Amino acid sequence: MSRPTKQIHLAAHFPGVNNTTVWSDPAAGSQIEFSSFAHLARAAERAKFDFFFLAEGLRLREQNGRIHDLDVVGRPDTFTVLAALAAVTERLGLAGTINSTFNEPYEVARQFASLDHLSAGRAAWNVVTSWDAFTGENFRRGGYLAEQDRYERARRFLHTAWELFDSWRGDEIVADKDTGQFLGEPRPGAFAHHDSFFDISGQFNVPRSPQGRPVIFQAGDSDAGREFAASSADAIFSRHSTFEDGQAFYADIKGRLAKFGRRPDQLVVLPAATFVLGDTDAEARERAEVIRHQQVSGATAILFAEQLWNRDLSAYDPDGPVPEVDPLPGENTISKGRASVRMFDDRLATARRWRELGEAKKLSLREVVIEVTGRQSFIGSAATVAETINRFVQEDASDGFILVPHIVPGGLDEFADQVVPLLQERGVFRAEYTGTTLREHLGLELPG
Ligand SMILES: Cc1cc2nc3c(=O)[nH]c(=O)nc-3n(C[C@H](O)[C@H](O)[C@H](O)COP(=O)(O)O)c2cc1C
């Protein structure tokens, strides 16, 4: 028996503070002005996307003792941006990445419950643990948690936040103007939570929000991160965007749900993906090459190589060969504030591979970096890209994608205008929103 056709989920990631965002293109705009956020959100809503997504970075990254200048493009506060977007959109979900290492459950629960109210049920929380003490130096407790403890704190943090959300059932406010009775019970929002991380009690002061609890995302990729997602998240944001890798990740994560008493459809798998469109596949490939060269300038190639070599390579010529010198082993000390997921497992072997590739294909260091780092996920005409995305979803490499345009604010426009109508024609993507909340867009049940 053939199974029903899956509906694709799509989201718009405001491109982040990193080198893949091309700021030097004449069409590139501000990364921090509200008009840029609003433009991308409106394009996503016009295309009936499920949600808009913001990552979080809490410290300017440094490399080799200097501020990584490509990162200095601005990263305003998540809640402020999403609350402002709630006012200029009506149906689009609003997902924010907020870490559980440096915050407190009471404040985060208040912020998400408030966003869920202001947006009439469109809030989502991507619970990340963050990874480095360097970022932690910004905060009162510093980077005090060992890696394995961060997920334990995350689990307890999320459960505490759920207790706060659930401290209101939703029927406490009577607001009877005739009798003058406002509350139906004397002490709503009562909570008391005591464990080794949190020791809090009181009255939560935001009444139950439209979704009850915001949609929960998880993004960590380790075994502990995947277990956390399988036990507690409604959706997982991953980096596994190629077909085979995506299928393997999908099978792994969906296979973990049963032991937590959950069904496969209770966790939506959404890898990050990039795209380049053209009138023909050949033209898209040409554009993709141009974009890769914009993304990896000579200076960027050296910075990338330094992250692998873990040493100062500023004296090297990016248009010359891959450096002969070996990487420094051990913990990466040259680059601070970048996700550990970007770090390289075996530096010596990877550097050897880069050298061999350079020699075999007669490529400069810059060209090798262009070749080995972050290629675009979907390259082709609108028809090709629509067909490929649909195949990935129908064949369980994902349930959809969080699309990361390479340029703001207009990077999603072509996709919205050209690819989405083709997906709608195929009947695999909504032509109109059928629900009002993000839970409804994602096909998730309301929490009990
Ligand atoms: C796709 C993806 C996106 C992530 N986005 C963020 C982010 O925006 N902010 C952040 O602090 N950490 C982010 N992380 C890092 C995770 O929170 C986590 O700290 C890190 O991956 C280490 O956990 P792990 O070993 O389970 O992967 C992201 C991780 C992944 C895989």
DSSP letters spanning 383-415: HHHHHHHHHHHHTTS-SEEEE--SSTTTTTHHI
Report the nearest atom of ligand 1 relative to the CA of 54. Answer: 8
Ligand 1 pocket test: pick from 129, 134, 252 the residue with the most ligand atoms within 8 Å of its Cβ.
Answer: 129
Alpha helix stretches (DSSP H) within 30-146: 34-46, 78-88, 105-118, 133-136
Average pLDDT over residues 201-229: 96
Phi-psi region of 72 (alpha: psi -120 to 50; beta: other; left: phi over 0): beta
Asked whether 225 lines ligand 1 (CB < 6 A), one says yes
pLDDT computed for residue 339 by the predictor: 59
Among 72-86, 135-149, 339-353, which is the least confidently predicted range? 339-353
pLDDT digits (tens, 9 = 90+) for 40-53: 999 999 999 999 99
Report the nearest atom of ligand 1 relative to the CA of 131. Answer: 19
Asked whether 135 lines ligand 1 (CB < 6 A), one says no
For the CA atoms of 182, 185, 186, 192, what is the dihedral angle to 10 degrees?
A: -130
Evaluate if residue 1 carries a pLDDT over 60: no
The Cα 182–Cα 175 span in angstroms is 4
| Residue 46 CA, distance from chain mean position | 21
The Cα 108–Cα 444 span in angstroms is 22
pLDDT computed for residue 340 by the predictor: 46
pLDDT computed for residue 448 by the predictor: 66
What radius of gyration do the chain's Cα atoms show? Answer: 23
Give the H/E segment covering residue 293: helix 281-295
Evaluate if residue 345 carries a pLDDT over 80: no
The rounded Å distance from CA 183 to ligand 1 centre is 41
Evaluate if residue 72 carries a pLDDT over 70: no
Residue 197 binned pLDDT confidence (cut-offs 50, 70, 90): very high
| Residue 120: both structure tokens together | 């009439």
Does residue 311 contact residue 348 with C-beta atoms inside 8 Å? Answer: no
Burial class (CB in 10 A: 0-12, 13-18, 19+), 87: exposed
Q: Which residues contact 223 (CB under 8 A, 6 or more apart)?
A: none
Evaluate if residue 131 carries a pLDDT over 80: no
pLDDT computed for residue 70 by the predictor: 60
| Residue 83: both structure tokens together | 């609350």
The Cα 352–Cα 134 span in angstroms is 30
Evaluate if residue 412 carries a pLDDT over 60: yes
Task: Give percent of the chain above pLDDT 70.
Answer: 96
Evaluate if residue 342 carries a pLDDT over 60: no
The rounded Å distance from CA 147 to ligand 1 centre is 12
Residue nearest to atom 9 of ligand 1 (CA): 56
Site of tokens 């009444």: 207
Residue 338 binned pLDDT confidence (cut-offs 50, 70, 90): low
| Residue 95: both structure tokens together | 């997902």
Average pLDDT over residues 171-181: 96
Asked whether 78 lines ligand 1 (CB < 6 A), one says no
Residue nearest to atom 28 of ligand 1 (CA): 219
Residue nearest to atom 2 of ligand 1 (CA): 219
The DSSP 8-state label assigned to residue 259 in this structure reads G
The rounded Å distance from CA 56 to ligand 1 centre is 9
Residue nearest to atom 17 of ligand 1 (CA): 128
Does residue 236 contact residue 269 with C-beta atoms inside 8 Å? Answer: yes
Residue nearest to atom 4 of ligand 1 (CA): 219
pLDDT digits (tens, 9 = 90+) for 306-326: 989 999 999 999 999 999 999
The Cα 151–Cα 129 span in angstroms is 7
Q: Which domains does the chain have, with CATH numbers?
A: 9-279+378-441 (3.20.20.30), 297-372 (no CATH)
